[in-house]
Amino acid sequence: MPTLQLDLGTRSYPIYIDSGLFNNSDLFSSHIRNKRICIVTNTIVAPLYLANIKEKLTNFDVDEIILPDGEAEKNLANFERIMSHLLANEHGRDTTLIALGGGVIGDITGFAAASYQRGIDFVQVPTTLLSQVDSSVGGKTAVNHPLGKNMIGAFYQPKAVIIDIDSLSTLPEREFNAGMAEVIKYGILGDYDFFVWLEHNIALIKAGDKDTLSQMIEKCCQCKADIVASDEKEAGVRALLNLGHTFGHAIEAEQGYGNWLHGEAVATGMVLAAKLAVAMNLLEVSELCRIESLIKVFDLPLLAPKTMGFDNFVRHMRRDKKNIGGKLRFIVPTAIGQSEIRDDVTVEILQQIL
């Protein structure tokens, strides 16, 4: 039985969270309608898990695409590489793509699935904490452009999300900590009790306690599933999930994709959003301090790059997808566990915090 279900009518799908799922051949095959499979992964993940998963799919015709690792590889060139491989190997609409990797692999594979022959099935198999708690759930697929992150893509839901928490044992500490930024985000934007739970379970999280990690991931996935079910294509409340991302995406684009990990940029972005809220008299300074303290515990950056000034931020933020009618829109916390969308941020306040 799945751990969770994301309810979207005919596009609903299960989210499985447990140890040892990569060894469950029945689980994989139950979400593949036909015999042809193409696994998309990268040079870091492939040596760890690709052979094992292929062994569990012996009744299928399986091939693979192994992309270079890194955020800089989430681009149109690698999207075209996937398209060319599928065409050259005569994959049809009966093919299922499996996205085996972190957020980059999940995003680009999902976009390829949405685009190839106007849509084929895909399954998300996230192997990083960030992709497990955030990017694998909800159907946002995209590639980056030098002028903006995730600007070319589609809303396209997978057939299932399979989260084997054992994959976190091979994750570098920096990558794990980057994932914690997205975890903390859920507490700040809408769940005070979860934020407190994180404060009380820091030691177990850092120690990699499986029960604690499983509980944490499930909580994040449930939060995201509930929001996506009510607003699949970000017409309203789903925009709250972008807390920290308006500033964070600007940092990534300005610094060059991959120099700052996505979670690191989001961590700084959340601090800036909280400082913005304080400057607008929406958030108490004491709550900003708690946010900064929890982020700092996981060795995440609190300050924007020294090379980035006001003009650098604004140039990128003007391309943000949340903007309406030329107005910059920001997600700001009004308390730990509460957030809202604001489009009344003045240039003076932005200059003050940047």
Which residues are annotated as catalytic?
118, 140, 182, 224, 234, 238, 242, 245, 249, 262
What is the DSSP annotation of 80-103?
HHHHHHHHHTT--TT-EEEEEESH
- Name the CA radius of gyration of the chain, rounded: 20
Longest CA–CA span in the chain (Å) reads 63
Contact 299, 127 (CB under 8 A): no
Type of residue at 121:
D
Say how far residue 25 (Cα) sits from the centre of its chain. Answer: 26
Q: For residue 233, give both structure tokens.
A: 């294509």
Alpha helices in the chain (DSSP H): 25-29, 51-55, 76-88, 103-115, 129-130, 173-190, 192-200, 202-207, 210-230, 245-255, 262-279, 285-297, 310-317, 347-353
Say how far residue 82 (Cα) sits from the centre of its chain. Answer: 21
CB contact burial 102-135 (16+ within 10 A = b; e otherwise): bbbbbbbbbbbbbbbeeebbbbbbbbbbbbbbbb
First to last CA, the chain: 48
Pairing state of beta strands 61-67 and 36-42?
parallel
Contact 131, 102 (CB under 8 A): yes
User: Angle of helix 76-88 relative to helix 103-115, nearest 10 degrees?
Assistant: 50
Contact 37, 96 (CB under 8 A): yes
What is the DSSP annotation of 57-79?
TTTSEEEEEEEPPSGGG-SHHHH
